[in-house]
């Protein structure tokens, strides 16, 4: 089976659902995606981007609690009070390799073990330190733009899993077409502890900063659909989705702006 249009894709998903549990085509974590792609006739590759009918396809085990990076993005330069080298030198620590480093997962509520937390209002999210104060500010408009560039549209497929004789079997029985950015739900996911921010920086031997990218992450990819403004189920009897985006032949470059080697 090979799908070439969105309508064929939806019909193929519904047919796969009707078959019940399907034995994995590959052992390990990637088996769920490999199996679904094989059943849809999608050729596997290691390049992120559109998988079928011009839309990126993501599959996940129900209640998998998989940590997923939504995107990496530094705060705007004009909104940085203390960032990169200065941040690591002032608020970092010596890591196991003897480097001045700062690797920290930050959420809302109480400060974490390094003293950081996320504060927010209806317009922005702040990276705050309990002693220093505001380190940087992310406007929600920026997060919306980056989110929609990174995930312009997505099909999320969720599967129940059974294990038989040390082999996984997947029943792909829930799927959604997702589009747009829901800032209210993004903030709610932050409040719920589902979306966090990861700092990943250290000072190199030559004195330059090595920033692996400040990562916005969701703790459980089963909740990913909540961050989208449009959320339409695909496995119901009457699927009514207007989809006019053409199949994408090549990917647009995406600048994660990691600010390495300052």
**DSSP state string for the chain:** ----SHHHHHHHHHHHHHT--EE-SSSSTTHHHHHHHHHHTPPP-SS-S--BTTBEEEEEETT----EEEEE-PPPGGGBSS-HHHHHHHH-EE-TTS-EEEEEEE-SSS--TTSEEEEE-SSEEEEEETTTEEEEEEEHHHHHHHHHHH-SEEEEEEEEEEEETTEEEEEEEEEEEEES--HHHHHHHHHTT-EEEEEEEEE-TTS-EEE---EEEES-GGGGGGG-SEEEESSSSS------PPPPSSPPP------TT-
In a domain, 233, yes or no: no
In a domain, 76, yes or no: yes
- Domain hosting 114: range is 70-142+193-211
Q: What is the pLDDT of residues 21-80, one digit of tens each?
A: 999 999 998 999 999 999 988 876 544 444 555 678 889 998 777 788 999 999 999 999
- Give the global pTM: 0.80
In a domain, 237, yes or no: no
Average model confidence (pLDDT) across the chain: 87
pLDDT at 249 > cutoff 50: no
Q: What is the pLDDT of residues 131-167, one digit of tens each?
A: 999 999 999 999 999 999 988 888 999 999 999 999 9
Q: What is the domain count for the chain?
A: 1
**CATH number (domain holding residue 92):** 3.30.70.3570
């Amino acid at each position: 089976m090979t799908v070439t249009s969105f309508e064929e894709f939806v019909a193929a998903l519904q047919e796969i659902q009707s078959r019940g549990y399907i034995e994995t085509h590959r052992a390990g974590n990637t088996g769920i995606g490999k199996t679904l792609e094989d059943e849809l006739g999608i050729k596997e590759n290691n390049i992120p981007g559109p998988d079928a009918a011009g839309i990126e396809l993501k599959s996940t085990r129900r209640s998998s609690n998989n940590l997923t990076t939504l995107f990496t993005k530094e705060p705007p330069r004009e909104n940085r009070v203390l960032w990169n080298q200065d941040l690591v030198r002032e608020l970092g620590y010596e890591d196991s390799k003897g480097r001045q480093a700062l690797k920290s997962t930050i959420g809302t509520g109480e400060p974490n073990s390094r003293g950081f937390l996320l504060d927010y209002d209806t317009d922005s999210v702040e990276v705050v330190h309990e002693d220093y104060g505001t380190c940087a500010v992310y406007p929600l408009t920026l997060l919306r733009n980056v989110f929609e560039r990174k995930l312009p549209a997505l099909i999320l497929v969720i599967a129940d899993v059974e294990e038989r004789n040390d082999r996984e079997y997947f029943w792909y029985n829930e799927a959604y077409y997702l589009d747009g950015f829901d800032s209210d739900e993004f903030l709610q996911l932050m409040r719920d502890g589902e979306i966090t921010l990861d700092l990943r920086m250290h000072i190199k031997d030559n004195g330059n900063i090595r920033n692996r990218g400040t990562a916005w992450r969701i703790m459980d990819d089963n909740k990913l659909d909540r961050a989208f403004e449009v959320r339409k189920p695909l496995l119901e009897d009457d699927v009514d989705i207007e989809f006019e985006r053409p199949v994408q032949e090549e990917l647009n470059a995406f600048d994660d702006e990691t600010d390495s080697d300052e």
